[in-house]
Amino acid sequence: MRILPFFIQLLAAELHQSAKDANEKKTMNTHLHVLEGYTNLYRIWPDKVLGEQIKILLDNFFEHFIDKETHHLALFFDENWNAKGDLVSYGHDIEATWLLLEAAEVIGDEASIKKIKEITTAMADATSTGIDVDGGLWYEYKPAENHLVKEKHWWVQAEAMVGFFNAWQISGDDKYLNISLKNWEFVKTKILDKQNGEWFWGIDENGGVMPGQDKSGIWKCPYHNSRVMLELAGRIAVNN
């Protein structure tokens, strides 16, 4: 009987999803993917209370997660919405732009649609600072250390393709379309495993496949890369 309270206390103290995450009570990534799940549920079950929860999540992004000065996402917060750290995650920055717009459109919230469209290009521009000359998007940047994490993970490239395409659809500025297309060329050249199928985990700063990483496992599956293909197929069809 004494063991149970110990484990409850242990679980309460360990809040991070992985070793890469800060051990904080509120995380941007959790909110983003709960939002995505709620949005797709609302498509088939347009429940009023569910719609209200989606609106609350959108407001959390507008009020807390999107930095109004840098237009990057703040990733970690304590229970009182105090930001913890200044880590920049380029993949999440660009992923959020299109997932937030999708959620707002699905529930028909015109005010939120307007808000996200107004800041999408600013967030895309902030993300573009992480684009390498080969079209690949770097993983993370640590401002406090002025350190760029020179890895190009598969999911970051997938989100770049959709996010910059979305920025082009909103703005009509071809620079975003060109970033999306060049990123796709990078994926075909470096990330796609043409011999065995699927996408590699990522590419290191020397252009080689990152060693020792799963092709599929607890943190990698066809989620991001399958979704990007379906999403872009639909968007391209609309624009043709």
Per-residue model confidence as pLDDT tens digits over 43-85:
999 999 999 999 999 999 999 999 999 999 999 999 999 999 9
CA distance 72 to 88: 7
Domain ranges in the chain? Answer: 13-239
Q: Is 83 helix (H, G, I), strand (E, B) or coil?
A: strand
| pLDDT given at position 46 | 98
Percent of the chain whose predicted confidence (pLDDT) is above 70: 90
Model confidence band, residue 13 (pLDDT cutoffs 50, 70, 90): low
Q: Provide mean pLDDT across the span 220-240.
A: 94
CA distance 191 to 154: 7
| pLDDT given at position 1 | 41
| pLDDT given at position 19 | 54
CATH 1.50.10.10 for domain 13-239, yes or no, is yes
Instruction: Find the DSSP H helices in 61-191.
Output: 90-106, 110-128, 154-171, 174-186
CA distance 71 to 181: 23
Reported pTM: 0.91
| pLDDT given at position 6 | 54
Model confidence band, residue 27 (pLDDT cutoffs 50, 70, 90): very high
